Structure 1
Amino acid sequence: MIFAKIDEILDKYGDDRIHEFFLCDSVWKPLSIVALYVLFVRRIGPWFMKDRQPYNVRNFVIVFDITQIVVNFYLTYKISTNYFTSGSWYCFDVDYSNHGIGRTQLLIVYWYHLLKISDILDTVFFILKKNNRQISHLHFP
């Protein structure tokens, strides 16, 4: 009941442009990912790895890290060019159009959030490599 009410409020007051994007048609998808992350990092991962040898995920981590760097660099570039075209270095109004600067702002925020969701994979890699000493209280929500 409460979940349906929250979806109704978000549909009524949310940005209609985001429904076309992966993970954006419902607030429950990203929340489910975070909940699964917490469950994996706190319970499932340590239990699963308790009697196993560490996995060799080195090559995957290298590709993952390079991808993160490239996408972060691209987003930094897009944000800086967006600031130059908006005429403000401090703040600018949100353009709710689906073209031009409005579309660029929407894509920047969307890719930023996807990067933040993918950042939690670092902790999953630590667990799979049994590098528990690298996991701090900052990795746990």
Structure 2
Amino acid sequence: MQINNLTSSVVLIYKDFIQNADSRTDDWLLMSSPFPQTFIIVAYIYFVTSLGPKIMENRKAFDLKSVLVVYNFVVVMLSLYMCYEFVMSGWGTGYSFHCDLVDYSNSPQAMRMLAVCWLYYFSKFIEMLDTIFFVLRKKNSQVTFLHVYHHSIMPFTWWFGVRFAGGGLGTFHALLNSIVHVIMYSYYGLSAMGPKYQKYLWWKKYLTTIQLIQFAMVTTHISQYFFMKDCPYQFPIFVYIIGLYGLIFLFLFLNFWYHAYTKGKRLPKVLQAQRWAFHTNRVMNGTANHGKHE
């Protein structure tokens, strides 16, 4: 009896919750409820952390060079398109970068913003292929907590963003993220093209710097809300979520930076060689100088 009452209460709460959703997205793909996407995300986590590695354990790694080149540059083009749409639907055509509200009308501008918000949300499922390719290539060391958490939490939270607040100040981080992805996936695409392109990829270390700048900008922008005297943003809960998101990823990427680059574990090979040569010279010079003082 208690279980039935609890179930009924949950259903009522959900119905009351979903009544506030944006009716313009009622019939859009994956928008009817959060459960289909939750199933996809759970399946993704299970595959990349458990099932996939077990399947590949006694198998030869797949050679996905051509697939990776195509995939990465397709994501670059998609990210460029989303940058353009975010700019043309608000961020370059009227948004103030301060208290920008969600336009719930059916005007062409409002629908254009809503459409690119949905496309950005859907692109997060496409980007899950990053991890699946790692597993198929037996690059399990790259399937880190940060990586899986990022690819899981983004589509989950963005469902609520599109369903309730498709536009306004809560979309600034999507524009920034699309810009960063143009740079990042360009790097991945060039890297997948083979060793002869490695000498042009000395800027790998700066990818993490760019991501750190991104999260600092996201946190700074959304924090304005707490200092505005009058900003009737329709769903303040998203301000808190975005702010928390920015801080969490800023911390996680700083931690990644420290362990991956300060210690030199993830530097490009050419920089690793330079780093090794630098430290070797220091040791040799130190030994020579020590000998002079003896």
Partner residue of 2:94?
86
Could you tell me how far 1:91 is from its partner in structure 2?
4.1
Partner residue of 1:97?
105
Could you tell me how far 1:72 is from its partner in structure 2?
0.7
Instruction: Give CA deviations for 1:22-60 in whole Å, capped at 9, x if unaligned.
Output: 111111111111101111011110111111111222222
TM-score, with length taken from structure 2: 0.44
Q: Does 1:127 align with 2:135?
A: yes
Contact 1:86–1:92 (Cα < 8 Å) also in 2: no
Deviates more, 1:83-92 or 1:66-75: 83-92
Aligned-partner residue type, residue 16 of structure 1: S
Whole-Å separation in 1 of the counterparts to 2:84 and 2:99? 17
Contact 1:38–1:140 (Cα < 8 Å) also in 2: yes
Contact 1:49–1:128 (Cα < 8 Å) also in 2: yes
Deviates more, 1:124-133 or 1:86-95: 86-95
Partner residue of 1:70?
77
Partner residue of 1:140?
148
Whole-Å separation in 2 of the counterparts to 1:18 and 1:42? 33
Could you tell me how far 1:118 is from its partner in structure 2?
1.8
Larger radius of gyration: 2
What is the aligned length? 141
For residues 1-141 of structure 1, the aligned pairs below 5 Å read 1=7, 4-5=11-12, 7-81=14-88, 82-141=90-149
Indicate how the Cα distance of structure 1 residues 3 and 56 shifts in structure 2: closer, same or farther if over 3 A, else same.
farther
Instruction: Give CA deviations for 1:66-96 in whole Å, capped at 9, x if unaligned.
Output: 1111111111112222223224233421111
Q: Give the match's secondary structure for 2:31.
A: coil
Q: Which runs of 5+ in 1 are unaligned?
A: none
Indicate how the Cα distance of structure 1 residues 6 and 57 shifts in structure 2: closer, same or farther if over 3 A, else same.
farther
Partner residue of 2:235?
none
Q: Which runs of 5+ in 2 are unaligned?
A: 1-6, 150-294
- Say which structure, 1 or 2, has more relative contact order (CA 8 Å, 6+ apart): 1
Superposition CA RMSD, Å: 1.9
Q: Percent identity, please.
A: 27
Higher helix share: 2
